[in-house]
Amino acid sequence: MVIKSRRIITLLLALAMGLGLCGGLAYAADDPSPWAAEEVNRAIAQGLVPQKLQTHYRQPVTRAEFCALAVALYETVTGWAIIGRVGLADTSDVNIEKMAAVGVVDSAGPARFSPGSNLTREQAATMLTRLMGAIGRPLPKQDTAFTDNSSISGTAYEAVGQMQRAGIMNGTGTDGFSPKKPYTREQGILTILRAFDIVKDVSGFDASKAIPFASLAEYYDLTEGERRLYDQISAGVANFDLRIEVDSVPQDGKGSDMLCRACDIVYCTHPELFWWDGKVRYPANRKPSEDGKHYLLPVYIVDGKELRSEVSGSKNTIVCPPASEVAEGKAWVERGMADIREKLSNLPARGGASPYELELAAYDWLGDNLTYDGSDFAKHEFNTIHGALVDGRVDCNGYSRAFQYIMCLLGIESVVLNGKNSSGEQHMWSAVKLDGEWYQADVTVDCDLRKSEGLPWHYWLNRNDEFRTGKGVTIITDRASITSPDISCTATKYNYYVMTDAHIASDSDFISKVPARIAIARAGGERAFDIEFAPSYAPASEIYDKLEMLDPSLLEDIKFYHNKLGVVFAVFRV
């Protein structure tokens, strides 16, 4: 009986372990190895590990699972979802189709992928090398230096050398590479993280510091229903879907307001979706389609032309554009993404700069490189980051969205504000968050004057609500209108003239600040600079008389211009 009891106990323990009932043992099996734990957690924090792969770290990773990791890396560092799809005969996995679209997965030949097969180490090296090239960071070549080089397939040999040189993949502990050995989840996660550390600053921006655009929605008073629609619409547009499945199409009245507001806020918080004009269409009867599902039909503007699906018949059949037109549209968008990344690589160096210095550099860069075009406010291209950063011609909408886009990439929260200017015309400008406080910035007006007058305008950089209201600029906050976020701008610390010590409000300010500002500009080789006279102090036109009384030599190589706003521009004579 004793022997029989021991056998029963042993059997029960074995069953418990197999079913995961012994918490300690099951937990250890699910956790990453001790040597990998820290980096696995960092990869998760960076958004590089899909939820379904955050377990069973020590088991072999399948080819499909590794594609999911590769997609996470690509979309995190580029800031865009992969909208292309290339189908393969043996899978409909969206991550595999995405990787095939960008050339990481080979779709040539029989177009079979074997998604459920375990990934080998040499296959991982090949895919990672292609992935780095697709992101825009091709790796230099190097011969491999492993004792089992002869076991590496010819098609993977070069990739293994590139992985070794980059430090993304190393040997297996015996000076070998073990090319045919299965790759584990934790090994896949660690190599994706190492690749991320190399490419996270694609176009000069550190993806680990970027502000997720969706997080900006928290500054709007979204109801639960609006937030649900916001998430569905933004995800659908990011994927270039021609029909976006939603829980239901809101009915007339408050429902219509909810849909309009959700669309407006997606448009205002996602400047990267430059192909969408902020509108969706839906069946007139607001009933489901013939498949029983509700759809919204976004309107995309591709190379100046509309691309959209239509509703047909009493059954609300969704008729999508021809596949060739959709493919051309996606190709145009992908070229636009690449062009924008290339353009942004020309931004001034950003190493070690403070948030304010980053903002000022971007503000000046936009002023030097963009041209205001208000000839057609309905022209979609003038309202987008593509128009701004690729074509270089924008209206206030495009200026504000380009500024917002760059700020968020730099890790600085920025939202767009909708309102009216002093003439009662519709206007859009920006707000930025520095050291936890919001400031208004109008890159449109300053950059347009910079272009037209050839002078360094910073008049509207980092103002507060009181200043803007005093100049006749009002923000629209009515929920039924195009809305602005629920923020307040009350600080003055990072106002441009405060930061440059060029706000003159008294004679003592004039005596201490103006000569010092001239000396700094002269020593730094500045061609021109601007200072501000407070309205309570004196007209800007008095600067000549005041400087002549203070020190006539200061006027020898400088010419001053002034305007009714109280700004004085000092230009050094060549």
Q: Which of 498, 530, 558 is the last residue of a domain?
A: 498
- Residue range 69-91, pLDDT digits in tens: 999 999 988 888 999 888 888 89
pLDDT at res. 67: 97
Torsion of CA 385, 389, 390, 394, to 10 degrees: 70
pTM, two decimals, is 0.82
Residue 7 lies in a domain: no
Asked if 566 and 522 count as a contact pair (C-beta separation under 8 A), the reply is: no
Burial bucket for residue 483 (CB in 10 Å: 0-12, 13-18, 19+):
buried
Residue 548 lies in a domain: yes
Q: Which of 156, 171, 200 is the last residue of a domain?
A: 200
pLDDT tens, per residue, the chain with 574 residues = 333 444 444 443 443 433 333 333 333 458 999 999 999 999 999 999 999 999 999 999 999 999 999 999 999 888 889 998 888 888 999 999 999 999 999 866 566 789 999 999 999 999 999 999 998 888 998 888 899 999 999 999 999 999 999 999 988 877 899 999 999 999 999 999 999 998 876 666 777 888 999 999 999 988 898 999 999 999 999 999 999 999 988 776 555 678 888 999 999 999 999 999 999 998 888 889 989 999 999 999 999 899 999 999 888 899 999 999 999 999 999 999 989 988 887 777 666 689 999 999 999 899 888 888 877 656 778 889 999 999 888 888 899 999 999 999 999 999 999 887 767 778 889 999 999 999 999 988 888 777 766 777 888 899 988 877 766 566 655 444 557 788 899 999 999 999 988 888 899 998 999 888 888 888 888 888 888 888 788 777 788 888 888 888 877 788 877 766 777 777 876 5
pLDDT at res. 61: 97
Q: Same structural domain for residues 147 and 246?
A: no
Q: Same structural domain for residues 453 and 505?
A: no
Distance of CA 235 to the CA centre of its chain: 14
Q: In what order do the strands lie in the sheet with 437-441?
A: 461-463, 437-441, 426-434, 414-420, 474-475
Q: Which amino acid is at 529?
A: F
Residues 6 or more apart whose Cβ sits within 8 Å of residue 111? 87, 88, 89
Q: Which residues pair with 305 in a beta bridge?
A: 302
Q: Same structural domain for residues 191 and 314?
A: no
Pairing of strands 503-504, 461-463: unpaired
Cβ density class 200-226: b for 16+ within 10 Å, e for less = bbbbbbebbebbebeebbebbebeebb
Neighbours of 74 (CB within 10 A): 23
Q: Same structural domain for residues 505 and 427?
A: no
Q: Same structural domain for residues 52 and 188?
A: yes
Place of tokens 């448009």: 267
Residue 4 lies in a domain: no
Q: Same structural domain for residues 180 and 270?
A: no
Q: Same structural domain for residues 176 and 105?
A: yes
Helical H runs in 345-434? 355-369, 385-386, 396-409
CATH assignment at residue 472: 3.10.620.30
Q: How far is CA 491 from CA 256, 431, 462, in A?
A: 37, 12, 9
Closest of 324, 293, 319, 294 to residue 308, by C-alpha: 319
CA distance 280 to 261: 12
Q: Same structural domain for residues 127 and 222?
A: no
Question: How crowded is the C-beta side of 514, counted as CA atoms within 13 Å?
Answer: 30
Residue 6 lies in a domain: no
Q: Same structural domain for residues 387 and 374?
A: yes
Q: Which domain holds residue 437?
A: 347-498
Asked if 498 and 492 count as a contact pair (C-beta separation under 8 A), the reply is: yes
Q: Same structural domain for residues 233 and 351?
A: no
- Residue range 245-286, pLDDT digits in tens: 999 887 765 556 788 889 999 999 999 999 999 999 988 888
Q: Which of 148, 171, 200 is the last residue of a domain?
A: 200
Q: Same structural domain for residues 189 and 45?
A: yes
Overall number of domains in the chain:
4
Q: Same structural domain for residues 357 and 292?
A: no
Closest of 13, 73, 11 to residue 48, by C-alpha: 73
Residue 269 lies in a domain: yes
CA distance 238 to 223: 22
Neighbours of 313 (CB within 10 A): 9
pLDDT at res. 447: 80
Residue 205 lies in a domain: no
Residue 532 lies in a domain: yes
Terminal CA-to-CA distance of the chain, rounded, Å?
A: 107
Residue 5 lies in a domain: no
Question: What is the chain's Cα-based Rg?
Answer: 29
Residues 6 or more apart whose Cβ sits within 8 Å of residue 80? 238, 272, 337
Asked if 177 and 171 count as a contact pair (C-beta separation under 8 A), the reply is: yes
